[in-house]
Amino acid sequence: MGPLEQVLGMIPGMGNLKQLAETRPDEAQMGRVEAIISSMTAAERRNYKLIDGSRRRRIARGSGTTVEDVNRLLKQFMQMRKMLKMVGGLGQGGGRRKGMRQAMGMLKGRGLRA
């Protein structure tokens, strides 16, 4: 990736991008993730906020995993969603262009602009 990797490394929360790119996904872990997602209803897949404690237990039982695995997957999803919103400007009223301006401002040390 070269220079692009250096630029992305300057963005807060993306410093470990090189490590992420070099790691291969664990096939067993991918199987667990697929099982967890398959154990969710369509409504739960569309809106993660519906998943409360009892639903987490049901998903864990249905997927053959633990509640902790389900919690970990949901936490990773929320973190990825937050990062994509910050970088891509999704859901911020300004679209992709505004998100790119914000990311460039962060690179220049100005922080986020409203």
Is 21 within the bounds of a domain? no
Query: pTM for this structure?
Result: 0.58
Q: Which of 104, 10, 114, 29 is nearest to 69 (CA)?
A: 29
For 67-106, give one letter per residue: b (16+ CB within 10 A) or e.
eebbeebeeeeeeeeeeeebbbbeeeeeeeeebeebbeeb
Is 83 within the bounds of a domain? yes
Structure confidence by residue, pLDDT tens digits, 23-82: 667 788 899 999 999 999 999 999 999 999 999 999 999 999 999 999 999 999 998 888
pLDDT band at 85 (very low <50, low <70, confident <90, very high): confident
Domain that holds residue 89: 27-107
Please state, in angstroms and as integers, the Cα–Cα distance from residue 6 to each residue in 1, 16, 17, 30, following that order: 9, 11, 9, 28
pLDDT for 4 equals 66
Q: How many domains are there within the chain? A: 1
Is residue 5 within 8 Å of residue 18, measured between CB atoms?
yes
Is 101 within the bounds of a domain? yes
pLDDT for 87 equals 76
Is 75 within the bounds of a domain? yes
